[in-house]
Structure 1
Amino acid sequence: MPDLSHGDDAAAVNSLRSAVMRLSRRLKHQRVDESLSPTEMSVLGTLARCGNATPGELARKEHVQPPSMTRIVALLEAKGLVRLEPHPDDRRQKVVTQTEQAETMLEESRRKRNAWLARIAEELDDDEWAKLRDAAPVLEKLAHL
């Protein structure tokens, strides 16, 4: 566990934070559909990973307030990327489902971002690539804590 009072650990945490943020910003620029906000793309990604969800569940997963998620879902619905369906157990609620159009757009976006990342990773030597490949599951775990 990192000890932020220890100089080496504090420097490593700072370096990791900075690198992840820069890489994330660069990846976000590799979008297929520029009309979608990063938040809208994130909601579609959450639906793709986790499956259908109520707006309240999406708000919790995306760390936004429910009224904000209601607006985001309405925008996505107007763009034909999600549809609202009746909740199977609670008629007061709706379930958000992504459309085929959203699935296709997300797949194109993944392909574009993966190709970009593969291109820049070509600059790494074999040892650097092996370290990064080994770090990927750890970074994935951090992203979902």
Structure 2
Amino acid sequence: MSETIGEQSSALRMATFRLARRLRAQKSDDTMSDPQFGALAALHVHGPHTLTALAEREKVSAPSMNRTVNCLEETGYVTRETDPVDKRKISVAITESGTAVVGDTVKKRDAWLSAELETLSADERDVLARAAEIMAVIATR
């Protein structure tokens, strides 16, 4: 008897969750939390943000993002810069060392996943490539 849609969705959710957890464990700075890396990666990809905009992007409260940014600032991964036009506005920007941590972490995660994919057959890798395309469609809806 085949699985129901509910059973399939549950199995996919759990497998995705476990894989994401394994990938998140691969990072170049083991002291950095997942929310800290998420904020740092957002700054790397999207450029400087105000604290409020960064909190909205990461779907957390402004006070929570402030704590995250404080930790990243203490480690030298981000700086706060005053807007030259509106002195009341502060932007959070990634530093060179923050950019290096993001790059090193991405390389580490890609290397781990590549090593895992090498243990699979060509057919299994093809199935996962197609699944990745479908998951990307679902994620953008």
The two structures have a TM-score, normalised by structure 2, of 0.89
Task: Give the 3-state SS of the residue equivalent to 2:49 in structure 1.
Answer: coil
Task: Give the 3-state SS of the residue equivalent to 1:84 in structure 2.
Answer: strand
Q: Hey, what does 1:62 align to over in structure 2?
A: 58
- Which amino acid in 1 is paired with 2:38? S
Kindly tell me the number of residue pairs found equivalent between the two proteins.
139
Deviation, structure 1 residue 50: 1.6
Q: Hey, what does 2:15 align to over in structure 1?
A: 19
Give the unaligned 5+ runs of structure 1.
1-6
Rounded to whole Å, the distance in 2 between the matches of 1:141 and 1:76 is 32
Rounded to whole Å, the distance in 2 between the matches of 1:59 and 1:140 is 24
Q: Hey, what does 1:10 align to over in structure 2?
A: 6
Q: Hey, what does 2:77 align to over in structure 1?
A: 81
Rounded to whole Å, the distance in 2 between the matches of 1:93 and 1:108 is 31
Q: Hey, what does 1:53 align to over in structure 2?
A: 49
Instruction: Name segments (4+ residues, structure 1) moved above 2 Å.
Output: 87-91, 134-145
Q: Hey, what does 1:35 align to over in structure 2?
A: 31
Rounded to whole Å, the distance in 1 between the matches of 2:13 and 2:103 is 27
1:119 aligns to 2:115 (yes or no) = yes
Rounded to whole Å, the distance in 1 between the matches of 2:134 and 2:11 is 16
Rounded to whole Å, the distance in 2 between the matches of 1:113 and 1:46 is 17
Percent identity reads 35
Which of the pair has the greater relative contact order for Cα pairs under 8 Å at 6+ separation?
2
CA RMSD across the alignment: 1.7
Rounded to whole Å, the distance in 2 between the matches of 1:144 and 1:114 is 22
Q: Hey, what does 2:104 align to over in structure 1?
A: 108
- Residues 69 and 125 (structure 1), Cα distance of their counterparts in 2 relative to 1, 3 Å cut: same
Rounded to whole Å, the distance in 2 between the matches of 1:45 and 1:66 is 18
